[in-house]
Structure 1
Amino acid sequence: MSPLLRRTKKKPADRVVTLVGKPGCHLCDDARLVVSAVCEETGASWVEKDITRDEALHQEYWEQVPVVLIDGEQHTFWRVDPARLRTALRA
């Protein structure tokens, strides 16, 4: 395979996890704990976005919150499995 076509593996520290949720959501609270712990462990950064403050996110994810994105791509919704998130960040 040509070096130009080879896919470069990102380090966890180069990854960004986005937690999309809303206030008063117990699943979002649970997801926040998992995302925070896994990101701290792996060195990935994370941000949280509130669907009640972003109409586009609300339209896309209102039935699925919490939603976890990795580098803008949907990883999971409702429940966050720490082992699966850790593996995805290291992939």
Structure 2
Amino acid sequence: MTAPRVTLYTRPGCHLCDDAREVIARVCADVGESFEEVDITTDGDLEDRFSEDIPVTFVDGRQHDFWRVDETRLRAALGA
């Protein structure tokens, strides 16, 4: 199985993270991709790096969005 193309960095209790997860899950399901979610509170380096910018979305290893996920932009980045 190949690695997910989308990574969502989150923090527990983050309502923007919940919103981003819904958009990402919907888009990935539609285009046949998978995504992984990483809780930044489990890694001090990630917490330092992203702290107040969460949720942060990466596509193919590059930062794509933060705070909000634009569905149209995400679809375009995934080639859909």
Identity across the alignment (%): 53
| 8 A Cα contact 2:4 2:36, kept in partner | no
Runs (4+) of structure 1 exceeding 4 A deviation are none
Give how far 1:63 is off: 1.7
Post-superposition Cα deviations, 1:48-91, rounded to whole Å, max 9, x if no partner, equal: 00011011211111120000001211000001011110001108
Q: What TM-score do the two structures reach when normalised by structure 1? A: 0.80
Q: Aligned partners of 2:5 and 2:75: how far apart in 1?
A: 12
| 8 A Cα contact 1:22 1:51, kept in partner | yes
Structural RMSD (CA) = 1.7
| 8 A Cα contact 2:56 2:67, kept in partner | yes
2:79 paired residue number: 90
Counterpart code for 1:30:
D
Post-superposition Cα deviations, 1:12-44, rounded to whole Å, max 9, x if no partner, equal: x98610000100000000000000000011111
| Corresponding pairs, count | 79
Is the aligned partner of 1:79 residue 2:72?
no
